[in-house]
Protein backbone atom coordinates (compact mmCIF):
# COMPACT_ATOMS: atom_id res chain seq x y z
CA UNK A 1 0.00 0.00 0.00
CA UNK A 2 2.82 2.37 0.82
CA UNK A 3 6.35 2.48 -0.54
CA UNK A 4 9.02 4.47 1.28
CA UNK A 5 10.53 7.01 -1.12
CA UNK A 6 12.83 8.90 1.30
CA UNK A 7 13.67 7.34 4.65
CA UNK A 8 14.34 9.37 7.79
CA UNK A 9 18.14 9.20 7.48
CA UNK A 10 18.07 10.33 3.85
CA UNK A 11 15.83 13.26 4.74
CA UNK A 12 18.00 14.24 7.72
CA UNK A 13 21.16 14.24 5.59
CA UNK A 14 19.61 16.38 2.87
CA UNK A 15 18.00 18.81 5.30
CA UNK A 16 21.40 19.24 6.97
CA UNK A 17 22.91 20.11 3.60
CA UNK A 18 20.09 22.55 2.84
CA UNK A 19 20.73 24.23 6.19
CA UNK A 20 24.36 24.71 5.21
CA UNK A 21 23.40 26.05 1.78
CA UNK A 22 21.07 28.61 3.36
CA UNK A 23 23.68 29.56 5.98
CA UNK A 24 26.29 30.19 3.29
CA UNK A 25 23.86 32.08 1.03
CA UNK A 26 23.09 34.81 3.59
CA UNK A 27 26.25 36.40 4.94
CA UNK A 28 24.48 39.34 6.57
CA UNK A 29 21.14 40.97 7.16
CA UNK A 30 17.99 39.67 8.81
CA UNK A 31 16.85 36.22 7.70
CA UNK A 32 13.19 35.21 8.00
CA UNK A 33 12.05 31.65 7.38
CA UNK A 34 8.43 31.78 6.29
CA UNK A 35 6.84 28.35 6.49
CA UNK A 36 3.77 27.44 4.47
CA UNK A 37 1.48 25.51 6.75
CA UNK A 38 0.53 22.94 7.28
CA UNK A 39 2.79 20.81 5.11
CA UNK A 40 6.10 22.48 6.03
CA UNK A 41 5.79 22.23 9.81
CA UNK A 42 8.24 19.37 10.29
CA UNK A 43 10.62 20.46 7.54
CA UNK A 44 10.92 24.02 8.85
CA UNK A 45 11.56 22.75 12.38
CA UNK A 46 14.48 20.63 11.16
CA UNK A 47 15.74 23.20 8.64
CA UNK A 48 15.78 26.03 11.20
CA UNK A 49 17.97 23.91 13.47
CA UNK A 50 20.35 23.14 10.60
CA UNK A 51 20.97 26.83 9.85
CA UNK A 52 23.99 28.26 11.66
CA UNK A 53 23.12 31.96 11.74
CA UNK A 54 20.49 34.13 13.44
CA UNK A 55 17.01 33.92 11.96
CA UNK A 56 13.35 34.53 12.62
CA UNK A 57 10.45 32.19 11.90
CA UNK A 58 6.89 32.97 10.85
CA UNK A 59 4.19 31.12 8.96
CA UNK A 60 1.57 31.48 6.26
CA UNK A 61 -1.42 29.26 5.77
CA UNK A 62 -2.61 28.60 2.25
CA UNK A 63 -4.72 25.72 1.12
CA UNK A 64 -5.16 24.39 -2.39
CA UNK A 65 -5.84 20.65 -2.23
CA UNK A 66 -8.73 20.16 0.15
CA UNK A 67 -9.25 16.43 0.48
CA UNK A 68 -8.61 15.55 -3.16
CA UNK A 69 -5.41 13.92 -4.43
CA UNK A 70 -5.12 16.38 -7.33
CA UNK A 71 -4.38 20.08 -7.05
CA UNK A 72 -7.38 22.30 -7.68
CA UNK A 73 -5.32 25.37 -8.42
CA UNK A 74 -7.44 27.41 -6.04
CA UNK A 75 -5.30 28.95 -3.34
CA UNK A 76 -6.91 30.26 -0.19
CA UNK A 77 -4.95 32.43 2.25
CA UNK A 78 -6.07 31.52 5.73
CA UNK A 79 -3.29 33.17 7.76
CA UNK A 80 -1.01 36.04 6.84
CA UNK A 81 2.36 36.41 8.59
CA UNK A 82 2.41 38.98 11.35
CA UNK A 83 6.09 39.80 10.74
CA UNK A 84 7.01 42.89 8.72
CA UNK A 85 8.87 41.56 5.67
CA UNK A 86 10.32 44.89 4.55
CA UNK A 87 14.13 44.80 4.40
CA UNK A 88 14.39 41.14 5.45
CA UNK A 89 15.85 38.25 3.50
CA UNK A 90 12.75 36.07 3.24
CA UNK A 91 13.03 32.34 2.56
CA UNK A 92 9.67 30.70 1.95
CA UNK A 93 9.80 27.14 3.23
CA UNK A 94 7.59 24.76 1.27
CA UNK A 95 7.23 21.00 1.57
CA UNK A 96 6.39 20.20 -2.05
CA UNK A 97 6.00 21.96 -5.39
CA UNK A 98 3.44 20.26 -7.60
CA UNK A 99 1.73 22.63 -10.06
CA UNK A 100 3.59 25.57 -8.51
CA UNK A 101 0.36 27.56 -8.29
CA UNK A 102 0.48 27.96 -4.53
CA UNK A 103 3.96 29.45 -4.71
CA UNK A 104 3.32 31.66 -7.73
CA UNK A 105 0.40 33.31 -6.04
CA UNK A 106 2.16 33.73 -2.70
CA UNK A 107 5.42 35.01 -4.19
CA UNK A 108 3.59 37.80 -6.00
CA UNK A 109 1.97 38.80 -2.74
CA UNK A 110 5.20 38.60 -0.71
CA UNK A 111 7.24 40.55 -3.26
CA UNK A 112 4.82 43.45 -2.90
CA UNK A 113 5.89 43.73 0.75
CA UNK A 114 9.40 44.82 -0.24
CA UNK A 115 11.67 42.19 1.31
CA UNK A 116 15.43 42.68 0.80
CA UNK A 117 15.33 39.37 -1.08
CA UNK A 118 12.85 36.59 -1.69
CA UNK A 119 13.75 32.93 -2.18
CA UNK A 120 12.12 29.54 -1.77
CA UNK A 121 13.47 26.46 -0.06
CA UNK A 122 11.39 23.45 -1.12
CA UNK A 123 12.04 19.98 0.24
CA UNK A 124 10.43 18.26 -2.74
CA UNK A 125 9.90 19.41 -6.33
CA UNK A 126 7.98 17.33 -8.85
CA UNK A 127 9.44 19.49 -11.64
CA UNK A 128 6.02 19.52 -13.30
CA UNK A 129 5.67 23.28 -13.19
CA UNK A 130 7.54 25.86 -15.26
CA UNK A 131 10.69 26.79 -13.30
CA UNK A 132 10.10 29.41 -10.63
CA UNK A 133 13.22 31.62 -10.41
CA UNK A 134 12.83 32.18 -6.67
CA UNK A 135 13.24 28.46 -5.97
CA UNK A 136 16.87 28.67 -4.91
CA UNK A 137 17.11 25.66 -2.58
CA UNK A 138 15.62 22.22 -3.38
CA UNK A 139 15.92 19.04 -1.36
CA UNK A 140 14.88 16.38 -3.84
CA UNK A 141 13.47 16.17 -7.34
CA UNK A 142 10.70 13.74 -6.49
CA UNK A 143 8.55 11.37 -8.52
CA UNK A 144 5.12 12.49 -9.70
CA UNK A 145 3.36 10.38 -7.09
CA UNK A 146 1.07 11.19 -4.19
CA UNK A 147 3.52 11.52 -1.32
CA UNK A 148 2.75 11.52 2.38
CA UNK A 149 4.72 11.80 5.62
CA UNK A 150 7.22 14.30 7.08
CA UNK A 151 4.45 16.90 7.06
CA UNK A 152 2.65 15.84 3.89
CA UNK A 153 -0.88 14.54 4.28
CA UNK A 154 -3.76 12.85 2.59
CA UNK A 155 -7.02 14.09 4.10
CA UNK A 156 -4.99 15.23 7.16
CA UNK A 157 -3.53 11.78 7.80
CA UNK A 158 0.13 10.64 7.70
CA UNK A 159 1.73 14.02 8.47
CA UNK A 160 3.51 12.55 11.50
CA UNK A 161 5.38 9.81 9.64
CA UNK A 162 9.17 10.34 9.98
CA UNK A 163 9.70 9.21 6.37
CA UNK A 164 8.14 10.12 3.00
CA UNK A 165 6.12 7.43 1.27
CA UNK A 166 4.04 6.99 -1.84
CA UNK A 167 0.37 6.49 -1.13
CA UNK A 168 -1.38 3.95 -3.32
CA UNK A 169 -4.40 5.58 -4.96
CA UNK A 170 -6.82 2.72 -4.42
CA UNK A 171 -6.23 2.44 -0.67
CA UNK A 172 -5.16 4.78 2.11
CA UNK A 173 -3.21 2.02 3.84
Q: How far apart are CA 87 and CA 56, in angstroms?
A: 13
What is the closest distance, in whole angstroms, from the C-beta atom of residue 26 to ligand PRP in the complex?
23
Instruction: Closer to ligand PRP by CB, 15 or 26: give it.
Output: 15
Among 94, 148, 158, 164, which residue interacts with ligand PRP (rule: CB under 6 A)? Answer: 94
In the bound complex, which residue of the shown chain has the CB atom lying closest to ligand PRP?
39
Burial class (CB in 10 A: 0-12, 13-18, 19+), 85: buried
3-state DSSP assignment of residue 46: helix
What is the closest distance, in whole angstroms, from the C-beta atom of residue 94 to ligand PRP in the complex?
6
Beta strands in the chain (DSSP E): 2-6, 31-37, 56-63, 76-79, 89-97, 117-125, 135-141, 147-148, 164-167
19-58: contacts with ligand PRP (CB under 6 A): 36-39
Instruction: Closer to ligand PRP by CB, 65 or 163: give it.
Output: 65
Q: Does residue 63 interact with ligand PRP by CB under 6 A?
A: yes
CB 22 within 8 A of CB 51: yes
Q: How far apart are CA 24 and CA 125, in angstroms?
A: 22
Instruction: Please identify, among the stretches 11-19, 23-31, 64-72, 84-92, the one whose residues bind ligand PRP according to the rule CB under 6 A.
Output: 64-72
Site string for ligand PRP, 139-158 (x = CB under 6 A): --------------x-----
Active centre residues (catalytic): 98
Q: Which residues contact 7 (CB under 8 A, 6 or more apart)?
A: 163
Q: How far apart are CA 17 and CA 107, in angstroms?
A: 24
Q: Does residue 64 interact with ligand PRP by CB under 6 A?
A: yes
Among 34, 60, 95, 115, which residue interacts with ligand PRP (rule: CB under 6 A)? Answer: 95
Residues that bind ligand PRP (CB under 6 A): 36-39, 63-65, 71, 94-102, 153
Amino acid sequence: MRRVVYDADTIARRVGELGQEVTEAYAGGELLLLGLLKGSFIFIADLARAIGRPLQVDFMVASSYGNATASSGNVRLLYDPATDLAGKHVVVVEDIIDTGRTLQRLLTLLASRRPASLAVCALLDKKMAPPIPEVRFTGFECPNAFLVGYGLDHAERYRHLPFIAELAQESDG
